[in-house]
């Protein structure tokens, strides 16, 4: 069911400092910061030959990653994202198997402009897992 590893997201408090680590220390190519007020984050993508790292920092008062960066002030892996062909079919299969889909269970348009769902970390090896229909 799952396809490509679309990205690994690392949440940080200080996006400029995080960009410096990946651009200068690790010598990677980064996109410009993209504020996404509707998602409460500002994101930068580290463009790797086969996948991406999504660096994200809280934006605004009600950021969904605010508590994560409080608990992990130095940053940390926030989620992994796998591509699926049909997110509704994927969701229904997962729910039928007892896995918990976060939120309303309806896909929303994610940071990449594609339908996404998040799966409960307790059902996926302690790892917040995003599915993105591509």
Answer for which of 1, 34, 88, 102 binds a second copy (CB under 8 A) is 1
Answer for which of 32, 62, 104, 126 binds a second copy (CB under 8 A) is 126
What's the residue count for the chain?
Answer: 134
Is 134 a binder of a second copy (CB under 8 A)?
Answer: no
Contact in structure between 19 and 55 (CB atoms under 8 Å): yes
**Annotated catalytic residue 106:** no
Instruction: Retrieve residue 91's tokens.
Output: 């969701």
Contact in structure between 16 and 59 (CB atoms under 8 Å): no
How far is 63 from 57, CA to CA, in rounded Å? 9
Q: Footprint of a second copy on residues 11-50 (CB under 8 A)?
A: 12, 18, 21, 24-28, 48-50
Is 51 a binder of a second copy (CB under 8 A)?
Answer: yes
Provide the annotated active-site residues.
Answer: 130
């Amino acid at each position: 069911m799952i396809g490509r590893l679309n990205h690994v997201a690392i949440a940080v408090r200080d996006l400029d400092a995080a960009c410096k680590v990946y651009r200068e220390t690790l010598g990677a190519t980064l996109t410009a910061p993209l504020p996404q007020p509707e998602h409460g984050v500002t994101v930068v993508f580290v463009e790797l030959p086969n996948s991406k790292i999504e660096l994200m920092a809280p934006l605004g008062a009600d950021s969904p990653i605010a508590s994560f960066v409080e608990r992990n002030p130095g940053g940390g892996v926030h989620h992994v994202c796998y591509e699926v062909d049909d997110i509704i079919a994927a969701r229904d299969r997962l729910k039928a198997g007892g896995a918990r889909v976060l939120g309303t269970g309806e896909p929303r348009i994610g940071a990449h402009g594609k339908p996404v769902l998040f799966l409960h970390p307790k059902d996926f090896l302690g790892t917040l897992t995003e599915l993105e229909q591509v």
